[in-house]
Amino acid sequence: MSPSYLAQDPTLADFGRDPWWLVLIKIVFAFAFGLLATLLGVWFERRVVGYMQVRPGPNQVGPFGLLQTLADGLKMAFKEDILPKAADKVVYFFAPTISVICAVTALSVVPFGPMVSIFGHHTPLQVTDVPVAVLLLLACSSMGVYGIVLGGWASGSTYPLLGGLRSSAQMISYEVAMGLSIVAVFMTAGTMSTSGIVAAQGDGTQLTIAGQQIPAPGWYAILLLPSFIIFFIATVGETNRAPFDLPEAESELVAGFMTEYSSLKFALFMLSEYVAMVTMSAVTTTLFLGGWRAPWPITIWEGANSGWWPMLWFFGKVIALVFVFVWLRGTLPRLRYDQFMRFGWKVLLPINLVWILVLSGLRSIEDWDTRGKVIAVGIPAGILLIATLFWPSRRPQPTPTTQEQVDSRPYGSFPLPPMDLQVPPSPRITRVVAEREPANIATGSDSREV
């Protein structure tokens, strides 16, 4: 049996007591997790998309093509580093690092597991935790977009500037929806600490249904289904992933904010995108999928949520969410910019506000179990939200017949140019008019009679 401390949930009082070398080990582990997950994420995406498109994907460099990403990174490192003449050199240099640093910093408050023993010291598998850790996650997500905005502005070119402006508008639009989704989480959990939110999703609350006691689902992805759906959609928009990759739309902006970047700076921007994808998958796991807690039916085993095993469940959930990111990229086309902004402001935001009001009203009722209220309302509301998002907005119009298409044309069966089209005069007529002009002047006739 594992010691009793290994089965305990870490609290805020458990942080700030570790020696410096143990804190350094945690920091290096979180940083290595972000980089390694990024390298494997690129390989994973290329393999999954290749499988979806019935092609092998990278499979030559290393076993199963695992070293292909490392080879691509070395290739980028030895490419020529081009600096545009019109660029702001200081901002141009630091912009890619801002995005990477903000994405990695968010991992510092993500719990990877419960209390464990490391070289005889009892410590939680988390770098640190603060009473407002959720706000720190929002701050890192918001600041990461400034790297894209500043990189687009400092390049001194039109296409990067447009990509940076798109990114700033995208940040404002989808950060609001993401923040409101998190409001539902810490309003239900009663804390903004990430370790406290994970503990609140595994308290073993019992529901009384038809006179029988059954365990209540603890994951907020089930209890707060509308918030989970909106949060994940906003996460895709925040990380600039397809179908919301408007700041780097190749078909419209060449490469968006990365157009003027090359070599390692370009690699840092690409790295920041994948680090942000992995980080937001870890944040979604922490807030909505029970964090490091094992899913059912693994919870039947008593030691599932103690020791080092929870790290396995945590990484499994993160990989599943990364797969959803890749699935979306290989399936959905890119939205138009007006559709993208309309979806954020006119769909996600009103639905989120209504859901927050409903959740607040349910919590104000004292004679009804809070978790039972949320389950009774949240799950149907989430199903209704999914149906609303995927329901066709317009009725399909019947395809007109060939005769109807011909009759609808103003000039018959063949399209004609507009009748007021100004055609330049023929050179021959111009020459004839010029030759007769003196004779016309002598006789008093008009040259237009020709």
Lowest-confidence segment of 195-209, 351-365, 414-428 by average pLDDT: 414-428
pLDDT band at 419 (very low <50, low <70, confident <90, very high): low
- Is pLDDT at 393 greater than 70 in this prediction? no
Q: Rounded to 5 degrees, what are φ and ψ at 110? A: -90, 120
What is the pLDDT, as a whole number, of residue 117? 86
d(CA 39, CA 268): 12
Confidence band of 437 (pLDDT split at 50, 70, 90): low
Confidence of residue 324 (pLDDT cuts 50, 70, 90): very high
The residue among 333, 351, 291 whose CA lies nearest residue 316 is: 291
Q: Please say if the pLDDT value at position 154 is more than 80.
A: yes
User: Is the N-terminal amide bond of 243 cis, ω within 30° of 0?
Assistant: yes
Q: Does residue 134 or residue 436 have the better pLDDT?
A: 134
Question: Environment class of residue 146 by beta-carbon count within 10 Å: exposed (0-12), middle (13-18) or buried (19+)?
Answer: middle
Q: What is the pLDDT of residue 95?
A: 87
Residue 4 pLDDT exceeds 50: no
pLDDT at res. 217: 53
Q: Using the predicted structure, report yes or no on whether residue 57 has a pLDDT greater than 60.
A: yes
Cβ count near 307 (within 10 Å):
17
Most confident of 22-26, 218-222, 344-348, 395-399: 22-26
Cα gap 227→232, rounded to integer Å: 8
Give the least confident one: 264-273, 321-330, 360-369, 421-430.
421-430
pLDDT at 111: 92
* pLDDT for 432: 64
Residues 156-171 have a mean pLDDT of 81
In this structure, how many other beta carbons lie within 10 angstroms of the beta carbon of residue 117? 14
Q: Residue 318: its pLDDT value, please?
A: 93
Percentage above 70 pLDDT, the chain: 77
Confidence check: pLDDT of 32 > 80: yes
| Res 273 pLDDT > 80 | yes
Which range has the top average pLDDT, 75-79, 374-378, 426-430? 75-79
- Residue 48: what pLDDT? 92
pLDDT of residue 64: 87
Q: What is the mean pLDDT of residues 406-424?
A: 59
- Indicate the helix (H) or strand (E) that contains 389: helix 370-390
- Tell me if 162 sits within 8 A of 253, measured CB to CB: yes
Q: What is the pLDDT of residue 145?
A: 80
- Asked whether the predicted pLDDT for residue 385 surpasses 80, the reply is no
How would residue 79 be classed by pLDDT, with cut points 50, 70 and 90? confident
CA-CA distance, 310 to 294, in Å (whole number)? 7
How confident is the model at residue 323, as a pLDDT? Answer: 93
Burial (CB < 10 A; 0-12, 13-18, 19+), residue 372, is middle
* Top-confidence residue, 308 or 13: 308
Mean pLDDT of all residues belonging to the chain: 79
Pairing of strands 115-118, 212-215: unpaired
